[in-house]
């Protein structure tokens, strides 16, 4: 049986996926296999100097999510927004299960799980009883 809630914390290097319910949790980490380098934008050059979004990285994260019921996406920068856009465009059924996208720096696994529990508790209270 799938766990009821999933949080995906993502930046351009790593993603932490935590599936959890009231009394159980599973933590997975996906590492992006890009070269360990920084991009810098120089004057009079073509390109933004930003790390490009990698569909292979996003697909690895999606595979790690399994059959997530409700999803919260979090992270410190733009990767969370790019991942949300990728879900909406390429995996619409999973994109519909995203309940929020939040800015969150670099928490420990425990802090991330505590944040997700508080967030989903509020979402569940707003949704009311299931009929």
pLDDT in tens, 83-116: 999 999 999 999 999 999 999 999 999 999 999 9
Q: What is the pLDDT of residue 14?
A: 96
d(CA 24, CA 30): 20
**Nearest residue to 113 (alpha-carbon basis) of 80, 72, 67:** 72
Rg from Cα positions in the chain: 16
DSSP for 11-48?
-SSEEEEEEE-SS-EEEEEEE--S-S------TT-SS-
Q: Does residue 3 carry a pLDDT above 90?
A: no
15: enclosing H helix or E strand:
strand 14-20
Q: What is the pLDDT of residue 1?
A: 44
CATH class of 5-33+51-127: alpha beta
Beta strands in 60-116 (DSSP E): 70-75, 98-103
9-67 pLDDT tens trace: 999 999 999 999 888 999 999 999 865 445 455 566 554 445 567 999 999 999 999 98
> 60: left (phi > 0), else alpha (psi -120 to 50), else beta?
alpha
Q: What is the pLDDT of residue 30?
A: 97
End-to-end CA distance of the chain: 20
CA 16 to chain centre: 7
Q: What is the pLDDT of residue 4?
A: 82
């Amino acid at each position: 049986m799938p766990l009821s809630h999933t949080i995906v914390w993502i930046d351009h290097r790593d993603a932490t996926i935590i599936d959890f319910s009231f009394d159980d949790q599973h933590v997975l980490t996906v590492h992006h296999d890009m070269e360990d380098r920084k991009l810098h934008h120089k004057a009079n050059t073509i390109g933004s100097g930003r790390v490009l979004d990698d569909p292979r990285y996003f697909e690895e994260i999606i595979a790690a999510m399994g059959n997530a019921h409700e999803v919260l996406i979090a992270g410190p920068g733009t990767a969370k927004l790019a991942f949300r856009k990728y879900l909406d465009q390429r995996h619409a059924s999973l994109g519909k299960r995203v309940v929020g996208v939040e800015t969150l720096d670099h928490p420990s696994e425990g802090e991330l799980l505590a944040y997700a529990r508080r967030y989903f508790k509020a979402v569940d209270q707003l949704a009311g009883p299931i009929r």
